[in-house]
Structure 1
Amino acid sequence: MSISEHPMPLTGHARAIVKSLLLNGPQSRSDLAATLELSPGSLTRLSRPLIDTGYIIEHPTLDQPTGIGRPSVPLNFNHDRFRFIGVKLTKTHAYAALTLADSRIEHLITRTLDIPTVDNAVATITELVEELTAKSPVPIHALGVALGAHVANYRTITHADHLGWDEVPLSELLEQSTGLPTYVENDIVAHTESTHWFGEGRETDDFALFTLGAGIGYGLVTHGQAVTSPEAGYSLLSHFPLRTEGLSSRMEHLATLTGVPNTKLLRVECGHEACATAMLTLGALEQRASKLLGRTVTFSQLIGLAQAGDPVASAIADASGYALGTLLAAITNLTMPTRIVLGGEAVLLAEVAATSMHDGLHDNRDPRSTDPELRLQNPDLALWTQGAAVVAVHTSLVGRT
């Protein structure tokens, strides 16, 4: 299917009807009309073209009441009509998923990206799209790509430091290669949107998303809307300072255990002492553990050692857990979310160091304040393909206001 054959994004009441059914599932006509502040007659008139064109369907239920009069048949989004492909791109891998419009994954495949050049990335993504297209029961509606980068207008990579890319028209290149409408977004922005619509942020109008892994990510939803900024792709919390009295005492304990001076423990390649990157990223944790344990230590090995009670590994996790709690306190104090969703490849730190994390949170909050609800996401990076798919759904199908 060529790009010209794809329908334009929905607008107006049609957009509102489809989005409500997509996000909230089947609804009776009366409930949907009330939600959208429409009269029953207006809803019937507006929904008929959407039924005729296959965007929504009537959704009869087995437990409909019997009696006098015609029962109301709920409406639902027509999931069978649409498929999307979401790609999460890193320096070393391309993860791709065939999804429904609500980001449910039907097929997930991965390719190694041996050399992260633009040409190799485009060729690899094209191969993944072809493989998933062959598995789809219907034509693919759109392609979404998410990566750690600053992105302009869902089309151009302005800066991707970890890939060494600048001013790359990635959407155009992939549209030429795949024939699909393609939308590109910063991975944290995409993941925030997916978490908001279909994930751990679904039941609340305000939450913060904080991710710790290869880098530091932060997203915010307030009043039911994601907070956006042209600077969202710059990882603005990466070097947030976390050195406090509580963290210093924990690092002194670690220095006593190992004989390594405190100043050397706090500083990593970023050049800062006790910033978010230095305390919470995979690279920093692995670098610190390897230095202090005298051998190469991966993050999963560090977590395993801490869980087993190794004193050095436990002290490393304890210090970083406290730093994590300090940053959660700052996020809560500054933006006041009622929920914080924690994700990323290093999210298990929040489980292993839960006590010190809560200590860091409480030591840096007013004692009269209420803790935000904390929810942890699956650390599997491949699931970030859902965020890329949601960007494609939002932009190509539902439309942005």
Structure 2
Amino acid sequence: MTSPLQPTVSAPSAPTAWTPLSGPTRQIALEVLLDGPLSRSALSQRLGLSPGSLTRLTKPLLDAGLLVEALTPAETEDAPRLGRPAQPLDVDPSSHHFVGVKLTGDHAYAALTDLRAGVLAATDAPLDATDPEHVVDVVATLVDELVATLATVRPSASVTGLGVSLGGHVKRRTDVTLADHLGWRDLPLAALLSERTGLRTVVENDIVAVTEATHWFGEGHGCSRFALVTIGAGIGYGLVVHDEAVESPEAGLSLLSHFPLAPDGPVGPCGHTGCATAMLTTGALVTQASRHLGRDVTYDQLLDLAAAGDPVARDLVDASGRALGRLMAAVANFTMPERVVLGGEGVRLAEVAADAVQHGLHGDRDPRTRPLDIRLQSPELAHWARGAAVVAIQAFVLGR
């Protein structure tokens, strides 16, 4: 039987094709990857498989090293194993490693992860230009750096795949059809990076990538229906329904950016008064704060001033907090999610303006609705690079 694992690539040559898992075998691997360790009986019940079928299907996964038998707390490595194996099944996160890279208009952020998207190392580099050749060189340099880091920690390990995310439209997880901030049109980015690094490469819209990461390994794990809202340089929105991320060719258009939130608010660059862009993006807030305070401030300085009680900063931050609450209320009213996850580099607003957020949220929600389950993500940009790594993990496990 063909092994479900492809050889890792260590030299910059043509990438080896991955042999995809399918059917019950893939479902077993997914259940254990996302929820393990799991006993064989639990897996049988979840998947409706007989014990004999489960044993037959898991054997090649165990032989290939994708699954391992986890030790119970009472066992040690030297303990004898008698009779039929009773150990729960798990994955060995260190069996495969992935690099994820998030591209902005002027920077590249990279993270090295294991098979469960645990971040082992992170690095970044500026983009001095946006022409594809330069960006590919920068990404390849970051990959080399993280591969070297991995070699120092786990000398026998290698990187299995590379994932790249960016703002814009991506087709087939290979070609960038439109990326305004980089000035790209119809660029075969995955092929260029595969040729340069020797790694199988997948490319995805950044919001889609971080939504997938949130779904598989993050704050949305265990929810069959949740919404992701990100605030920062832009406004992002992702949706998972029936345990599947909702995909659309419009995912890169930042559609929530135009959503009206404050009728008497400032005018955004799109010309809309009080829209999400005007009320919630870090650039808009910094511009407003600098004008009202009479001096230049950073986003974090504005939030620090508001937290310390500066009246001008407090008014600006609370107005944005109310707008954020209204945006989450609209998302909840339209999509009725089990949970709303809030992320992005501007997420600290939700903490500093917590009371205002709740005011805006409750003002636009029916009082009979249950309290909205809101989870906050890390604002670190490495979190976005982790999202890019997750789409590479998905490509490996699902054979995409």
Aligned partners of 1:8 and 1:397 also within 8 Å: no
Aligned length: 381
Could you list the per-position Cα deviations for residues 169-206 of structure 1 after superposition, in whole angstroms to 9, with x for gaps in the alignment? 11111011111110000111100110111111113222
Structure 2: runs of 5 or more not aligned: 1-8
Alignment of 1:218-233 (within 5 A): 218-233=237-252
Give the Cα–Cα distance (whole angstroms) in 2 for the partners of residues 385 and 297 of structure 1: 27
Match of 1:298 in 2: 298
Equivalent-residue separation in structure 1 for 2:253 and 2:171 (angstroms): 12
Question: Is the Cα contact below 8 Å between 2:99 and 2:162 reproduced in 1?
Answer: yes
DSSP-derived class of the 1:203 partner: coil
Residue 259 of structure 1 corresponds to none
The more displaced of 383-392 and 54-63 is 54-63
Provide the C-alpha distance between the structure 2 equivalents of 1:149 and 1:30, rounded to a whole number of angstroms: 44
Which residue number corresponds to residue 258 of structure 1?
none
Partner of residue 19, structure 1: 30
1:169 to 166, 173, 188: 188
Q: Given that residues 101 and 389 in structure 2 are in contact (C-alpha distance below 8 angstroms), is that contact kept between their aligned partners in structure 1? A: yes
SS at match of 2:256: coil
Which amino acid in structure 2 is aligned with residue 80 of structure 1? Answer: S
TM, length-normalised to structure 2: 0.91
- Which one of the candidate residues 43, 48, 53 is aligned to 1:42? 53
In 1, the alpha carbon distance for the partners of 2:126 and 2:392 equals 23
- Give the aligned partner of residue 29 of structure 1: 40
In the TM superposition, residue 8 of structure 1 has moved relative to its aligned partner by 1.9
Provide closer, same or farther for how the CA distance between residues 307 and 176 of structure 1 changes in structure 2, counting only shifts above 3 A.
Answer: same
Could you say if the C-alpha distance between residues 56 and 3 of structure 1 is closer, same or farther in structure 2, counting changes exceeding 3 Å?
A: farther
Q: In the alignment, which residue of structure 2 is the partner of 1:210? A: 229
Q: Secondary structure at the match of 2:146?
A: helix
Match of 1:201 in 2: 220
Task: Give a deviation string over 1:94-114, Cα, whole Å, max 9, x none.
Answer: 111111111101111111112
CA distance in structure 2 between the partners assigned to 1:128 and 1:235 by the alignment: 28
Deviation at 1:222, TM superposition (A): 1.8
User: What residue number does 1:82 align with?
Assistant: 96
The alpha carbon displacement at 1:382 in A equals 1.6
Q: Does 1:184 align with 2:203?
A: yes
Matches within 5 A, 1:2-401: 2-63=13-74, 70=84, 72-136=86-150, 137=154, 138-244=157-263, 248=264, 266-400=266-400
TM-score normalized with structure 1 length = 0.91
Matches of 1:343 and 1:95, distance apart in 2: 17
Cα distance between partner residues in 2 of 1:302 and 1:291: 12
Any conservation in 1 of the 2:40–2:89 contact (CA below 8 Å)? yes
Q: For each residue in 1:145-171, what CA deviation from the matched residue of structure 2 results, as whole angstroms up to 9, or x when unmatched?
A: 011111111011111112221111111
* CA distance in structure 2 between the aligned counterparts of 1:273 and 1:58, rounded to whole angstroms: 58
CA apart distance, 1:394? 0.5
Alpha-carbon distance in 2 for matches of 1:283, 1:357: 20
1:360 aligned counterpart, secondary structure: helix
Taking the aligned partners of 2:94 and 2:346, their CA distance within structure 1 comes to 36
Does the aligned pair in 2 maintain the 1:15–1:399 contact within 8 Å? no
Deviation per residue, 1:227-249 (Å, 9 max, x gap): 111211211111111135xxx4x
